[in-house]
Structure 1
Amino acid sequence: MRTIHILLLCILGAALFSPVLCNNAFGPTNCCFNYHTRRIQKSLITSYYRADERCAMPATILVTQKSRYICVNPTDPWVVKIMNELDNKSL
């Protein structure tokens, strides 16, 4: 009789623990779902970083002076120019 109770408690514990594991999945946190299409002045951008490689869309995230995060296409020529200038500035 005791083994049945222990088995039922284990099954109940596993059932309650599985949603916790699903909510804390190890996936990308900063993904972009669309691109900002207008050019942004270089003087407004303080830094940039690339979105996680596991995201569906490749993206560069520009950080503005007001700490706003803007998703842009990393292959756009104006984005490449801003990234190169920021990289050269940091050297």
Structure 2
Amino acid sequence: MKAANILLLCMLGAALLSTVLCQHSGGPDDCCFQFYRLPMNKKFVASYSVTDNRCPFRAVILTGKKGRNICADPSQPWVKNVMNFLDRMSF
């Protein structure tokens, strides 16, 4: 009887440990699933970052001067212009 209780306790511990390890996986923090389509004035954008390669869609996250994040398609010409403008301003 005691052996069955110890086995059950070990199985429960293993199940709890596996759920904790799965929640702390090394996945990407920010991914974009929808893109902002309207052109945005580059003067209102403070910075940008490119999403992780493990995200399902390649995207650029534009951070506004008020702290709002907007996902944009990096192949759009207006997004490229904003990125180039910010790169030039950082020098």
TM-score, length of structure 1 as denominator length:
0.88
2 CA distance for matches of 1:88 and 1:64? 17
Q: Does 1:27 align with 2:27?
A: yes
Q: Give secondary structure in 1 for the equivalent of 2:89.
A: helix
2 CA distance for matches of 1:28 and 1:56? 10
Q: Does 1:42 align with 2:75?
A: no
Cα displacement (A) at 1:6: 4.2
TM-score, length of structure 2 as denominator length:
0.88
Aligned counterpart, 1:73:
73
* Identity across matched positions, percent: 46
Q: Give secondary structure in 2 for the equivalent of 1:49.
A: strand
2 CA distance for matches of 1:88 and 1:31? 26
Unpaired runs of 5+ residues, structure 2, are none
CA RMSD of aligned residues (A): 1.5
Runs of 4+ in 1 over 6 A off after TM superposition: none
Amino acid of the structure 2 residue aligned with 1:77: P
Cα displacement (A) at 1:80: 0.5
Count of residue pairs brought into register by the alignment: 91
